[in-house]
Structure 1
Amino acid sequence: MTDGGTGRYARVRAAVLGTGLIGGSVLLRLAEAGLDVVGWDPDPATRERARLRGVLAPATLEETVVGRDLIFLCGPLPTLPSTLARMVELTAPGCVLTDVGSTKVEVAEAADRLGLGDRFVPGHPMAGAESAGLTAASPTLLAGAAWVLCPAAVATGPFRWLTGLLVEVFGARVVPMSAPAHDSVAALASHVPHLLAGALAGATQRAPLRDAVLALAAGSFSDGTRVAGTPAERTANMLLANRDRVLHELAEVRVFLDGLADALRADDAASLVARYAEARAARSALLDRRFASRSRRFDIDGEQRAEVTWLRELGGAGGHLTECRVDPDTVSYTAWLPVAD
């Protein structure tokens, strides 16, 4: 791992494998920040588009990853285990690997099976758009995003280093979580909303008065169906990779929805008001979150399990990191925790 600097990271040699919307945005931001970065995509036309945007895009995977300090795996979810297997063959032991996939358990388990657990840090930037491809990518898409990283006791060094880079280059709010916790939280925060958006948009598509519905559709319909515009294959990959957790959270949503329907059927205005007040509280908390700063320091070679436990508890409590500084003897974190409503 090189620790130069944009300040500290200018001499990092990075590669991005898969240059769609997220991977392309990672690639363009790293290039804009002045890092030595190359991109690769299995599609020759996409590689040519990257070159036209001023980024090096070698013809082969082997050329792309040789001598790199950091590699972002940004291909479709089903391809990540096989790409990790190639990294065993093609990268040096000091090369840090991370991904941007929307589920974490499967890829983390694949990395462990391949013996990459000490240098693979599962990741997921919580940003995106319904559009797809490098043509939709932007160096600002991920600016200030909540970016999940999954710390492990065997990889605290890569986690610390990558946290610092994401904060410095992307302005990320790094959310440390275990892979299972991420997948459980993402099921309700991201994956079930895709199901609900698909259901509303799909029902509209089948409605006898579809065009009249669309003529009257305003902000609530547009907001509620936005992610239904995501490429269908990408959405299916995400849902299938987290199937059990998504189905569990969907059942919880159905319970609440059934309660609304029961109140409506019974002409029970008080129950409707109570349930919508409960829902409004979550929405208000989302829009008006306040955080308090906390600092924490650990010995650089101390009990790493204690450090990882603290990090995971921070993410589980809704907190995030905005600084990770490694000194000769200590690692210091600046953390932010939500203030109680």
Structure 2
Amino acid sequence: MTDGGAERAGEVEPSLPGAELVGVRAAVIGTGLIGGSVLLRLRDAGFDVTGWDPDPTTRGYAAASGVTCAESLDEAVAGRQVVFLCGPLPTLPETLLRVAGLVGERCVLTDVGSTKGELAAFAEAHGLTDRFVPGHPMAGTDRAGLTSADPALFDGAAWVLCPAGGAGTAAFRWLADLVIRVFRAHVVPMSPTEHDAVVALSSHVPHLLARALAGAVHRAELRDAVLGLAAGSFRDGTRVAATPSERTVNMLLGNRARVLEELARVGGVLDELAAALGAADRTALVELHEEGRAARTGLFERQLTRERREFAVVGEQAEELAWLLGLGSAGGHLTECRVVDGRVAYAGERPA
């Protein structure tokens, strides 16, 4: 254990770009809302960063905004030390393979896709787990495109990173440090499988529920009257229904089995509510509403305790990986990751 108070000593694993982040050369492939926000934050942090987008209009807008944007993917990733893959979910496997073939073996690769299982398995099948770290920043808006990008989008947000263990541990440590210090996000270490299970209920099913409610209103005979009286509960409950449809459909199809499983779970609760309402069972209705109220209240009233762990940089990493994954599955996150004098020191927070 350590109190983590020592300054960074500058020692890193030889496979990493460097101890300090100043001067790191980065690329962002795909500059929509999330990719554009990554690009702007890296630029504002003083990184040598280049973006690329398949859309010429987007590239032109980036250039007009003073952001370096290459004319080709090959040009964008040349000589880079870290590459963020931010294109649509269905394009990520092909893009990962292409970029991996263009950059050096010491370049850290990551993505921002909203599902992790399929891409992580693809990376493993192609021998890329030593330098590819699956990622998912839990941030966004109902807008799209570089024109909506915000360099502060990730401040305080959860950013899932999936440590593979073994040879990929060094890349995870370095990227976790970057995400924490540059993006000021909370790194949540999770396995790809557990990530997809969790976001199915926390993110993907809410998109379906929002669209169901908004769709029911759209079909209602008194549609305009409903919209005229729509208050905060309707606006909050349907906010993500305004998300670009293609983006949402990619997300749902990429996690289809888990979304269907969790949708059935939510449907079961709705059935209980409907049955209690149909029977005019006040007691059951109150109990069911209190159950939901407790979960909502817990979203803002979680008590967190600080935790520190230290591990050897080289050697067996099973204990380190187990601690990281345990922290994420417990609802915790990392607030620091430092490699000093042959040791990696983590600081984190987990629910009390």
Name the TM tier (shorter chain).
Answer: over 0.9
Report the equivalent of 1:39.
Answer: 51
Report the equivalent of 1:322.
Answer: 335
The answer as to whether partners of 1:104 and 1:179 remain within 8 angstroms in 2 is yes
Aligned counterparts of 2:229 and 2:60: Cα–Cα separation in 1: 42
- AA aligned to 1:2 is P
Q: Secondary structure at the match of 1:292?
A: strand
- Choose which of 133, 154, 175 in structure 2 pairs with 1:142: 154
Shift of 1:302: 3.0
Report the equivalent of 1:59.
Answer: 71
Q: TM-score, normalised by structure 2?
A: 0.94
Q: Secondary structure at the match of 2:54?
A: coil
Query: What runs of 5+ residues in structure 2 fail to find an aligned partner?
Result: 1-15
Shift of 1:3: 2.3
Report the equivalent of 2:281.
Answer: 268
Report the equivalent of 1:174.
Answer: 187
Q: Secondary structure at the match of 1:30?
A: helix
- AA aligned to 1:205 is H
Report the equivalent of 2:196.
Answer: 183
Report the equivalent of 2:121.
Answer: 109
Shift of 1:89: 1.9
Report the equivalent of 2:17.
Answer: 2
Aligned counterparts of 1:226 and 1:13: Cα–Cα separation in 2: 36
Report the equivalent of 1:129.
Answer: 141
- AA aligned to 1:138 is D
Matched, 1:13 2:25: yes
In the TM superposition, what whole-angstrom CA distance separates every residue of 1:73-111 from its partner, at most 9, and x where no partner exists? 000000000001102321110000000000000111111
The answer as to whether partners of 2:17 and 2:107 remain within 8 angstroms in 1 is no
- AA aligned to 2:17 is T
The answer as to whether partners of 1:3 and 1:11 remain within 8 angstroms in 2 is no
Matched, 1:236 2:249: yes
Aligned counterparts of 1:153 and 1:287: Cα–Cα separation in 2: 32
In the TM superposition, what whole-angstrom CA distance separates every residue of 1:22-68 from its partner, at most 9, and x where no partner exists? 00000000000000000000001101111122111010111000100
Aligned counterparts of 1:87 and 1:61: Cα–Cα separation in 2: 8
Q: TM-score, normalised by structure 1?
A: 0.97
Aligned counterparts of 1:21 and 1:323: Cα–Cα separation in 2: 26
Moved over 6 A (4+): none
Aligned counterparts of 2:214 and 2:24: Cα–Cα separation in 1: 44
Aligned counterparts of 2:302 and 2:62: Cα–Cα separation in 1: 38
The answer as to whether partners of 1:2 and 1:11 remain within 8 angstroms in 2 is no
Q: Secondary structure at the match of 1:45?
A: helix
Report the equivalent of 2:13.
Answer: none
Report the equivalent of 2:262.
Answer: 249
> How many residue pairs were aligned?
336
The answer as to whether partners of 2:26 and 2:80 remain within 8 angstroms in 1 is yes
Report the equivalent of 2:106.
Answer: 94
Report the equivalent of 2:324.
Answer: 311
Matched, 1:335 2:351: no
The answer as to whether partners of 1:22 and 1:137 remain within 8 angstroms in 2 is yes
- Choose which of 118, 122, 142 in structure 1 pairs with 2:130: 118
Q: Secondary structure at the match of 1:315?
A: helix
The answer as to whether partners of 1:97 and 1:121 remain within 8 angstroms in 2 is yes
Shift of 1:2: 2.3
The answer as to whether partners of 2:78 and 2:103 remain within 8 angstroms in 1 is yes
Shift of 1:217: 0.3
The answer as to whether partners of 2:17 and 2:106 remain within 8 angstroms in 1 is no
- Choose which of 254, 266, 279 in structure 1 pairs with 2:292: 279
Report the equivalent of 2:209.
Answer: 196
- Choose which of 272, 296, 302 in structure 1 pairs with 2:315: 302
Q: Secondary structure at the match of 1:14?
A: strand
Matched, 1:161 2:158: no
- Which deviates more from structure 2 when the two are superposed, residues 327-336 or residues 64-73? 327-336
The CA RMSD over aligned residues, in Å, is: 0.8
Aligned counterparts of 2:30 and 2:70: Cα–Cα separation in 1: 12
The answer as to whether partners of 2:136 and 2:161 remain within 8 angstroms in 1 is yes
